[in-house]
Amino acid sequence: MAEHNQVNENTKNQDLATYREDAGESLTTNQGVKVSDTDNSLKVGSRGPSLRDDFHFQEKLTHFDRERIPERVVHARGSGAHGYFQPYESLAEFTKAKFLQDPSVKTPVFTRFSTVVGFRGSADTVRDVRGFSVKFYTEDGNYDLVGNNIPVFFIQDAIKFPDLVHAIKPEPHNEMPQAAAAHDNFWDFISLTPESTHMVMWVLSDRAIPRSYRMMQGFGIHTFRWVNAQGKSRFIKYHWKPLLGVHSLVWDEAQNTAGKDPDFHRRDLWEAIEKGNYPEYELGVQIIEEEDEFKFDFDILDATKMIPEELVPVRPIGKMVLNRNPDNFFAETEQVAFQPSNVVSGIDFSDDPLLQGRLMSYHDTQLHRLGSPNFTQIPINKPLCPFHNNQRDGRMQTEIHTSRVNYYPNSLGGGYPATTPGSEGGYVHYPERVEGHKVRERSPSFKEHFQQATLFWNSLSVPEKEHLVAAAHFELGKVEDQGVRERMVERLNHVDHELAKRVAVGIGIPAPTAPATENHGQSSSALSQENTTKIAKGRKVAILAADGVDNSQMMAIKQALKDAGAEAEIVAKFKGKIKSADGQEIEVDKTFLTSASPLFDAVYVPGGAESVKALKMNGDALHFIHEAFKHCKAIAATGEGVDLFTALEIPGVKLADAKSSLKNDQGVVTSRNTADAKAVAAEFIKAIAQHRHWKRAQKEQVPA
């Protein structure tokens, strides 16, 4: 009997092995149906809307939506805040959406920022795309603008979304690496997916490591429709622009921050709101007339493309202010459910095949993640306006319905709830004419993949290009498969020949001898962070001090920073209090053990002979300054504090000497004259506003 069971078990194992081997020959559905195309969803014509009878697409996405519980499959690591949105003027010419009509009306919002790849417990400062999603609680219902901090996406058709996320998530055999794209699976997928080239350029750029959520741009990604009261439709692209400017970390800084404070972005947002430094973002739109839909050399329905601002300017339409932190993280930030399908009258969709898939997938995800179709009754998701329908029961039902009817039409309930004609505010879809055969095809207008990637590269400043190349060296340097690295160099050679050669050198691949595609030479100034707003407001400055510090110098600089909207914190060896040279006790905010230079935007060392003497003997303090210098941040010193900079022997910088009162060399501001505090503060604030001093000489020689 035992022998018989063993034979059966062996046969079973053999059958399983045969099944697995056979399954590798043909891609099938879960029902065993062989699939002819898994790159394109079923559409009406190659450029039309997606169809619900695409059973392969639905199975693929619904399975994907249920792969992680209970956290989000993507965007699991997030942070949120309440606030309001207020339009600058009436936009009735373009849309009948009521919340965009009256500049005196403030519409409540809840905004959630997030990383994409990492799990809930991952760090904030990883190299990744960031989510930027806003729920508007309008008088006509909830409207969700669900976007990212990058204006384009990896893929053109939502049917490929499971493949993308499977590739970038930790590899399934060993669950590594966490919250990182630097591994073989991801770059294998990218190297075989030319449409991802433009997005990958953004991910390798500084945009993928933002300084904070307060200094991060947002985009709607897709082309949407606005429809006015007369029924006229226009295409729309959304842009969120932070009033503090768009700024980033450097890679070494981002890595260090992940270890020192993995909640860096979350903490920054929370503390800014608690202190009344409310983050502000201007909402702008690019408006494209329907008759101009085909005037560009790319397809506006292609989510891997953006519309350069030189072709269609961004029109500012309003401002969002985030002024209140959540009362409970789980109840609000974790349970908030965003859906691109949540629109109000006057806002509609385009036939973008990535958007079309998201309209189905997000709702399906919420049903799975939050466990019930009644997730809209969770307070953070509940509309502020009245809502009535005949949907009943189900898990988590919190509404106590008293009507005897739950169907339409009815007479027993007086015919209510009743539908509302479009002329009276009922939602009416734009009557777009569509026709075509049912096909799994990509529109020919989606076929070009490199011109905008080249545009992005051409638009970057020299430091931004250096950072992108270094990022490619890091990411592809982690890839073990040489064939993948070779394909990526070939892919980048279609973007720019010099870029491909520079990347090849760093990853052990022969450089291409000729460009695969000629660089068109075009650029767009809006794509470089070098051209963003530059102010000191919202910045954090570390003041390094010890017993014997000159309190008058320190307080003068600290007050000037406060007046400029920056925040200064005193960093010392131990928590508690230090005593100034004139005997005053000063509260310490952070210690060298609990803090680090990457957590600040600038560093200041005040005078005081005993304080400076102690700092000279503290390796952490010296490393703090070295690191800030290496990361090209503004640093300043007054009085004896200049002696500390001299002792560090920072290369290529001229410091104030006994004969000079003030110097500002490459963002290093110094003065030995204690009467110069006001002038030092003014120069220091200007240096902080620059964000970084990229031309700083020999910064790589600094031991940090």
d(CA 197, CA 582): 61
DSSP H or E segment with residue 69: none
Distance of CA 429 to the CA centre of its chain: 31
Compute the half-sphere exposure of residue 550: CA atoms within 13 Å on the CB side of its CA. Answer: 23
Q: Is the peptide bond before 417 cis (omega within 30 degrees of 0)?
A: yes
State the Cα–Cα distance between residues 204 and 354, nearest whole angstrom: 22
Rounded CA-CA distance 331/379 in Å is 8
Q: What does the H/E/C string look like for 591-647?
A: ECCCCCHHHCCEEEECCCHHHHHHHHCCHHHHHHHHHHHHCCCEEEEECCHHHHHHH
Q: Supply 147's token pair.
A: 């976007």
Residue 433: CB atoms within 10 A of its CB come to 4
Distance separating alpha carbons of residues 271 and 280, to the nearest angstrom: 15
Q: Which amino acid is at 559?
A: Q
Tokens 């000191």 belong to which residue? Answer: 536
Rounded CA-CA distance 671/519 in Å is 48
* Partner residues linked to 218 by β-bridges: 240
Q: What span, in angstroms and rounded, lies between the C-alpha atoms of 333 and 226?
A: 29
Give all strands of the β-sheet with 663-665 in edge-to-edge order: 590-591, 567-572, 540-544, 602-605, 634-638, 668-671, 663-665
Q: Which two tokens stand for residue 699?
A: 């910064």
How does DSSP classify residue 291?
G
Q: What is d(CA 266, CA 566) in angstroms, rounded to the nearest whole number?
A: 19
Q: List the end-to-end C-alpha distance of the chain, in Å, as a whole number.
A: 71
Return the structure tokens found at 8.
């059966």
At a CB cut-off of 8 Å and minimum separation 6, what does 527 contact? 308, 455, 456, 459, 460
Active-site positions? 75, 148
Distance CA 240, CA 152 (A): 14
CA proximity to 316, closest of 358, 284, 273 = 284
Q: What contacts 443, CB < 8 A, 6 or more positions away? A: 46, 47, 299, 301
Contact at 8 Å (CB) between 235 and 287? yes
Residues 570, 588 contacting (CB under 8 angstroms) = yes
Beta bridge pairs of residue 569: 542
DSSP label of 195:
G
Residue 448 vs residues 196, 451, 470, 491, 685: alpha-carbon distances, Å: 11, 7, 27, 13, 45
Q: Are 126 and 255 in contact (CB under 8 A)?
A: no
> 683, 622, 695: which is closest to 652 by C-alpha?
695
The Cα–Cα gap between 333 and 317 comes to: 27
Give φ, ψ of 688 to 5 degrees: -65, -40
